[in-house]
Chain A
Amino acid sequence: MSTTRSDLAELAGREYAYGFVSDIATDLAPKGLNEEVIRLISAKKDEPDWLVDWRLRAYRHWRTLSEPTWQNVAYGPIDYDEIIYYAAPKAKVAPGSLEEVDPELRAMFDKLGISLAEQERLSGVAVDAVVDSVSVATTFQARLAEAGVIFSSFSDAVRNHPDLVRAHLGSVVPYKDNFFAALNSAVFTDGSFCYVPAGVHCPMELSTYFRINSAGTGQFERTLIIAEAGAEVSYLEGCTAPMRDDNQLHAAVVELVAMDDARIKYSTVQNWYPGDADGRGGIYNFVTKRGRCAGARSKISWTQVETGSAITWKYPGVVLQGDDSVGEFYSVALSAAHQQADTGTKMIHIGKNTTSTIVSKAISAGHGQNTYRGLVKMLRSAEGARNHTRCDSLLIGPECGAHTFPYVEVKHSSAQVEHEATTSKVSDDQLFYARQRGIGEEEATSMIVNGFCREVFRKLPMEFAVEAQRLLSVSLEGAVG
């Protein structure tokens, strides 16, 4: 046990590898939230009237709400009037190519290991890099445009494709959905927009890297992905954020719409700053993510690897509206040090013969608290619907917690729902077996943990699977034994 304790101490002492602050001159809105700030954001982004109205409606609705309290995470009160709701890198001439991008900004991406140049050249991944709310570089536009795919920043989409945005904005996550969705709807600054026309298979993996950079700014992203009939798209989202002492709120909204036979795969690797060894600082990751399988035989798949953030609180869900549609959720959530996670999914079965699969792997170490909370709802119309849920928790160390709160509501007799969950620690027998064969304790534990998560990692696109495994082993380095 003594090794465990010293190893835990080592983990606690682990520095956040991505903690640095880039010095980019930033254009800030005044602190606080009121209708003026919303009009200002809207004006800065040159938005049409309907969008301003929508934001204001969301804001007025948000005013009537109080913050939810049912979650199994604890944090101090958030002062919404202390947040700066808009921060844009100082206006420069729009870069026409990667070479024109602020070298400091590019250096920051290089530090993160996501050099745009390299990505463009080697990996064939289009990156819409979001730094503090405004997209600065979008690559591969041309190749995507050739296929008819629209992939741009949200603001560009509002300018260039207002009808598409207007038709789908809030159609999956209405601004009345919840407290943070309403807040986001009122103040969202930018995000990504993707439209894949009927029958088109997006020629490459799409990816957005989110960064939170300016001190004291919250980030309110909004992502909207629409896959028309028969379209297919895989979207990757990866996050790292620099070290900060005061807590930062991230309240994003992601909406996915899949029409007949369309497929959307949304993958996330989230590694935001988790706070220091005493649980100070770190990102509050309060995100509303939802997909709507609007068409028959459509499929939406969420895969997430959550290793960062002080608090992760989100439930990427799927509304299975079309007959025979499919929803999937694969998740690895790690809470080490003082991290807290309350995450899971919602599968709402409406259409006939809809199926959903949930696989959740939670790892708690140090003082981490990990909660799986999931809802599987079979409505009266969901004839022949099926769900299988599997939640496994792994506990490392005596001070952490793992919790499972599934909700299953079934209103159709032909629906089948199965839920199973286990909680255990890395067993002494497993460790003994590995050590007997000359494998060190730490390596053995890492193998066991990786094996525990393999089912989910396999669902990630190749380049993310590597990153995810690396993240997990770095996060657990020395934590186990």
Chain B
Amino acid sequence: MTPRAQAVAARPSQELELPPLGQPSDPAWLSVSRRRAAAWVRANGFPSSKQEDWRYTSIDPVLAVPLVDGTGTTGRRPSLAVLDLLDLLGPRLGAVRLVMVNGHLAPELSQRAALPGGARILRLEDALADNPRQLASLWSWRSGGYPHALRALSDALATDGVLIDLPAGAVVEEPIEVVLLSAPGGAERWSHPRVVVAAGAASRATVIENYLGAPGRPSVTNALTQVMMDDEAQVDHYVMQADSTDGFHFSSLEVRPGRASHFSSRLLAVGARIGRHEVQVALQGEDAEIELSGLFLTGAGQVHDNPVLVDHAAPGCRSRQLYKGVAGGDGRGVFNGHIVVRAGANGTDAQQINKNLLVSDRAEVDTRPRLEIFADDVACAHGAAVGQLDPGAVFYLRSRGISYQQARALLVSGFAREVIDGFADGPIRQYAELLASAQLDRVVLTRQDGAAPAPAGGRASSASAATEGAAR
């Protein structure tokens, strides 16, 4: 690498202007932590595609959105009326619904209900003012430095969010839904919402993060979710990413499962111009089981990046990853999976599967399924595949009177099923199906030429050749 290239890559700047760090009411430890995070950003700059983990996602268009609004106002609300905002919210996915608009909790849009077993949902702002110890440890989670500037920015700037506190033994059957809505009209164009789940021993809950965006002025969602689990806790987590395709979506999920705990996270990504959902699971308790899955449906003009790190540091853990992607138009889907098995993590059983479909010739899929293994008593496997729809299958359907477009849509939705089938029965699965099928129409059916293939008269070979031709 030339010295010049390195200079471009780092782009650190002491002059980088940031909004005010946190609230005046912040406890001292938090102010210290925020200043440290801000200093890190100034010293290290934003990631560039020269960095391995950002190879396929250019952050440049994101940086065009100013971090600090020129007007100097700190208006927390968009100028939309409550009713309009309600319109933007999708169907309710759980008994409890917390709505955040542009990174700030909107109590008037939220629906709360009493939770069993002493489980509580707190506004992060309030929890911070109370100065609970668990939040302090969460903020210093990254004391060894940050993976990238966006993560550091969250520590520097996140003020509002949701804390889901599950005491030992609390079992919350109904899903807890957190809606994170980006709506135009607010003064701030970046939002840094944070969701914290603290699951006590043997507690159980389902948490859904539902990201929605209204079209309009580009905004940046820079969300962070931290899940801290005690022994034998069980958390099922969902991320529905349907941000506006005018905006940018960055979210990080950091999980620390306890001994014999069970964690699952399922992602459906359809929105945003650039959507990057990062998952980091640090397996430090023995015999934990985790299951990660994701479906990204990437249409024209979109990039979906999925960095997934599963770090096996304790023996006897089991991890499963299943990520599937469909890219159409000139969309680009990225899977960047990484399994680390540390010395001493014997009995690890780790699997990683990534399958991708390209449905347009301008689309691109990049996949990087990595294994890094320092222990010998392990069973690890990964598989990755990139391919197209089987022309034979398309022909088979067409020969039965199904139109070319329908046949393709049918096959692609069949491909996507495997992930959505893992979603729990009920509103969340229905909503996922709804989002997926709407997006698939966009990804698969909307094509630059839009032309149906040549009339399929004659031999199978010519028809399948025509099919291939039309896919181009």
Contact = CB atoms under 8 A, between A and B. Distances in A.
Interface of A: 64-66, 68, 70, 378, 380, 393, 395-425
B388 A398 contact: no
A419 B365 CA distance: 14
A421 B471 contact: no
B379 A424 contact: yes
Nearest to B351: A422
B377 interface: yes
Contacts of B2: 64-66
Interface residues of B, number: 42
Nearest to A64: B2
B358 A419 contact: no
Interface of B: 1-3, 52, 56, 343, 346, 356, 358-388, 468, 471-472
Contacts of B361: 380, 412-414
- Secondary structure of the A side of the interface? strand
Contacts of B370: 403-406
Given A412-B358, A413-B388, A416-B387, A404 B1 contact: no
Contact of B366 (A66, A408, A420, A425): A408
Given A417-B384, A421-B381, A400 B369 contact: no
Contacts of B343: 398-399
Given A410-B358, A425-B378, A403 B372 contact: yes
Contacts of B373: 393, 395, 401-403, 423
A460 to B, nearest CB: 27
B369 A406 contact: yes
Nearest to B378: A423
Contact of B385 (A70, A393, A401, A418): A418
B386 A416 contact: yes
Contacts of A407: 366, 368
Given A405-B370, A406-B368, A413-B388, A400 B376 contact: yes
A314 B363 CA distance: 31
A424 B382 contact: no
Given A64-B2, A66-B2, A418 B377 contact: no
A404 B371 contact: yes
Nearest to B55: A407
Nearest to B350: A423
B395 to A, nearest CB: 15
29 contacts: A65-B2, A66-B3, A70-B52, A395-B373, A396-B376, A397-B376, A401-B374, A402-B371, A404-B370, A404-B371, A406-B368, A406-B384, A408-B365, A408-B368, A409-B366, A410-B366, A414-B468, A415-B386, A416-B388, A418-B385, A419-B383, A420-B382, A420-B383, A421-B371, A421-B383, A422-B379, A422-B381, A423-B381, A425-B377
Nearest to A397: B376
A451 to B, nearest CB: 18
B376 A395 contact: yes
Nearest to A65: B2
Contacts of A421: 369, 371, 381-383
Nearest to A415: B386
